[in-house]
Amino acid sequence: MTSYCKYLTTAAGLCVGAASAQAGLVSPEMFQTGDPAALWGAPIASLDVNSETVYNWASGFEVPFPNGLGQDITELTSRVYNVSSPMMLSQGGDDLMLNPGDKVYAYTLTLVESSATTVDTVEEFQVGLLSFIGGPIMDASLIKGRGFYNSGVNGPVGGDGTDLEDLGIFGSSLDWRWDSLEINQLQNEQTITLLMFTENSLPFEGIGDLRAPTGQISGSGNISNLIPVLVPTTVPTPGASAIWILAGALCSRRKRPTA
């Protein structure tokens, strides 16, 4: 597991010392499901990074077309579904019960097309939200499990409960990690929907990180972080001891260049 705090600013990185990590996922399996829209109907909330925010992808996740005719870009949309009837998920000998009122957070990701300047695969996706001044957080106590809908592409692997990094009242992060072999990772132009299953929760804008293996391209373009995503939140009581707020919440988003 890669520490969520590692990709924040130095000041916010103090979160590592501010609280000890709590227990990880109750169910570490990676539950495979059918199409979320077919299972849970229309989403109750959504956020399309490319059309509804001014986020600018790292260089390895976008490529200009020849002659300045636009660009191909990685796509990511968050959708939140409400569970209206009981549903049992089973994977690897483990079961996960979804109850009416539970929520499913779905992150549909399409990796940029292949070129000499883009990454070739994705090895990790992470979402979270921290706060040290009593603001909204991603509440790990709400998270029941995770999974994916793959449509025939390589999915992330399960089995590691520490993929949920829980800092208690300060927030949490959750990872989806692929096999270490690039041939078993998400490839260029492939689409996958990654899933987080929670108790009843309030969708709020958090941040995500998308990571390709090092060495695919030069420079730091293999990591695109501070991506706007929807996460399950709760609001801690005012006065929870704090001095720093999540760096991403204060970061100005850079506008993508227009075609």
H/E segment holding residue 16: helix 15-18
- The model carries a pTM of 0.83
List residues bridging with 64 in a β-sheet. 71
Question: What confidence score (pLDDT) does residue 216 get?
Answer: 87
Distance, in Å, from the CA atom of 192 to the CA atom of 179, rounded to the nearest integer, reads 15
Does 34 or 24 have the greater pLDDT score? 34
Domains of the chain, residue spans: 20-249
Question: What confidence score (pLDDT) does residue 24 get?
Answer: 62
Give the SS3 label for residue 85. Answer: coil
Residue 258 has pLDDT above 70, yes or no: no
Residue 93 has pLDDT above 50, yes or no: yes
The answer to whether 216 and 60 have CB atoms below 8 angstroms apart is yes
Question: What confidence score (pLDDT) does residue 241 get?
Answer: 37
Residue 26 has pLDDT above 50, yes or no: yes
Question: What confidence score (pLDDT) does residue 92 get?
Answer: 84
Distance, in Å, from the CA atom of 109 to the CA atom of 162, rounded to the nearest integer, reads 23
Measured CA to CA in angstroms, residue 170 lies from 10, 139, 182 at distances of 17, 8, 34
Backbone φ and ψ for 119, nearest 5 degrees, come out as -70, 160
Token pair 């993929």 is found at: 163
Sign of CA pseudo-dihedral 59, 60, 66, 72 = negative
Q: Quickly list DSSP for 169-222.
A: GGEEEEEEE--SSGGGSEETT-EEEEEEEESS-EEEEEEEEEE--TTSSSTTTT
Question: What confidence score (pLDDT) does residue 256 get?
Answer: 41
Section 58-71 average pLDDT: 78
Q: Give the model confidence (pLDDT) of 156-207 as tens digits.
A: 999 888 899 999 999 999 999 999 999 999 999 999 999 999 999 999 999 9
Question: What confidence score (pLDDT) does residue 252 get?
Answer: 34
Section 211-225 average pLDDT: 85
| Closest C-alpha to 136, from 12, 238, 222 | 238
Distance, in Å, from the CA atom of 177 to the CA atom of 194, rounded to the nearest integer, reads 11
H/E segment holding residue 39: helix 36-40
Q: Mean pLDDT in the chain?
A: 82
Residue 14 has pLDDT above 50, yes or no: no
Question: What confidence score (pLDDT) does residue 255 get?
Answer: 37
Distance, in Å, from the CA atom of 19 to the CA atom of 170, rounded to the nearest integer, reads 8
Residue 254 has pLDDT above 90, yes or no: no
Does 153 or 237 have the greater pLDDT score? 153
Does 148 or 69 have the greater pLDDT score? 148
